[in-house]
A = this chain, B = another copy of it.
Amino acid sequence: MNRRPFNFSAGPAALPEEVLQQVAQEMLDWHGSGMSVMEMSHRGKEFVSICEQAEADLRELLAVPPQFRILFMQGGGLAENAIVPLNLSRGGKVDVVVSGSWSRKSAQEAGRYADVRIAADAKSNGQRAIPAAAEWQLRGDASYVHLCSNETIDGLEFHELPDLKALGCDAPLVIDFSSHVLSRPVDWSRVGLAFGGAQKNIGPAGLTLVIIREDLLGHALPICPSAFDYKTVAEAQSMYNTPPTFSIYVAGLVFQWLKRFEYGGKTGLAAIEQRNIDKATLLYQALDHSALFENRVAPDCRSRMNVPFYLRGTHDTPELNQAFLDEARERQLLQLKGHKSVGGMRASIYNAMSLEGVHALVDFLKDFETRHG
């Protein structure tokens, strides 16, 4: 088989080729069970072993401390925007740091259940930088503080999580880490709850990951659907309702791929982080040195995962944008169109994207500039 095209989709996104091959191989008979994973009772010993292994591998990869529970749920980030306040707001105050489109949506949805304050807004920086933590307007009696640690659409990433205690705030920090989960370590000492849709760095859409500190369980509002009450889900080991079994299985294979991943003399999460740094550096440098393309985010806030870029100034015409996308596709560089709300282009370079893929994109950027710049 020839090389697969390079897929820059923002999500659902590229998966490691060897994971897809294993999924295909095991499709009709998982480990001699006579069943596809899709066909297994979620309560049978086969699937329970798959689920337990996936959870253990994830815990190891992300160094999740024992006082945190790992939940496999459904609904994605948009559903969590309601499920988090239903579980944690206690009907009180919620402070949200808005760094882009996703945290803005989270703030809006939380407003159904709590008194929401926008503690800071990247709009004040022209959406090019995350406001400094020292400037955040946090309330001492907030039930929690929410931020999106990587904004998929805007391409802004927190490279360090805030220490809320040092900012005089005792509330737990909630992070939406959908689009950079498992691309780098998480400082759990600063986090109360982290959630993410699986469809960027983990596996198929339809699986939602929630990692929650145990003391935050058990505070759901009475109007919280039981299937989304974290305590209920935790007590049932994520099997209160039928979990998205096949997605958990694929996620588990991705976790095992990550555990054995080697790069730059490192293994596992440290290796993938190093490759992500190298990929991002390569792409941002190419954009910064280009007279035709630009990324507009402040260097210290640039996402390692999602790189929006635009044609500069008068070059930014619908025709040239389309020509770029068409030629990219011919070169087997897929799904580079920017999000409809911001236009332009976007390269999502998640864990499964190789350094070779980013080189191919950078070569194409230069070649396109030579011909159209």
Which residues of the partner chain B approach A225 to less than 8 Å between Cβ atoms?
79, 81-83, 86, 109, 112
Instruction: Determine which of B14, B24, B34 lies in contact with A24 in the assembled complex, contact meaning CB atoms within 8 Å.
Output: B24
How many angstroms between the C-alpha atoms of A246 and B250 in the bound complex? Answer: 11
A20 to B28, CA, bound (A): 6
A246-B205 contact, Cβ under 8 Å, with A12-B39, A76-B74:
yes
Complex contacts, A86 vs chain B, CB 8 Å: 225
Interface residues of A in 58-81 (CB under 8 A from B): 74-79, 81
* CB pair B205 A244 closer than 8 Å: yes
CA distance A244 to B207 in the complex (A): 8
Complex contact A38–B240 (CB within 8 A): no
A9 to B40, CA, bound (A): 7
Enumerate chain B residues within 8 angstroms of A206, measured Cβ to Cβ.
Answer: 74, 206-207, 242-247
CB-contacts of A170-225 with B (<8 A): 197, 199, 203-207, 222-223, 225
Query: Across the interface, do A27 and B20 meet the contact criterion of CB distance under 8 Å?
Result: yes
- Bound state CA distance, A44 and B205, in angstroms? 14
Residues in A1-39 with C-beta less than 8 Å from chain B = 1, 4-5, 7, 9-15, 17, 20-21, 23-25, 27-29, 34-36, 38-39
Q: Are A75 and B74 within 8 A (Cβ)?
A: yes
Contact between B28 and A27 (Cβ–Cβ < 8 Å)? Answer: no
The 4 A-B pairs of least Cβ separation, nearest first, read A206-B244, A82-B225, A5-B34, A24-B27
A205 near B7 with CB under 8 A, answer no
Chain B residues near A17 (CB-CB < 8 A): 28
Within the oligomer, what is the number of copies of this chain? 2
CB distance B10 to A41 under 8 Å? yes
Contact A75 B78 (CB under 8 A): no
Shortest Cβ gap from A255 to chain B (Å): 16
Cβ-defined contact, A245 with B44, below 8 A: no
Q: Does A335 contact B (CB under 8 A)?
A: yes
Separation of A4 and B34 alpha carbons in the complex (Å): 6
Q: Is the CB of A240 within 8 A of B12?
A: no
Contact status A12-B28, CB under 8 Å = no
> Is A39 within 8 A of B15, CB to CB?
yes
User: Chain B residues near A14 (CB, 8 Å)?
Assistant: 35, 39
Q: How far is the CA of A43 from the CA of B227 in the complex (A)?
A: 28
> Considering the chains assembled together, what is the distance between the CA atoms of A86 and B241 in angstroms?
18
Answer yes or no: A42 CB below 8 A from chain B CBs: yes
Asked if A242 contacts B27 (CB within 8 A), the reply is: no
Closest partner residue, chain B, to A34 (CB atom)? B5
> Nearest Cβ in chain B — how far from A198, in angstroms?
10
Shortest CB-to-CB span from A227 to chain B, Å, is 4
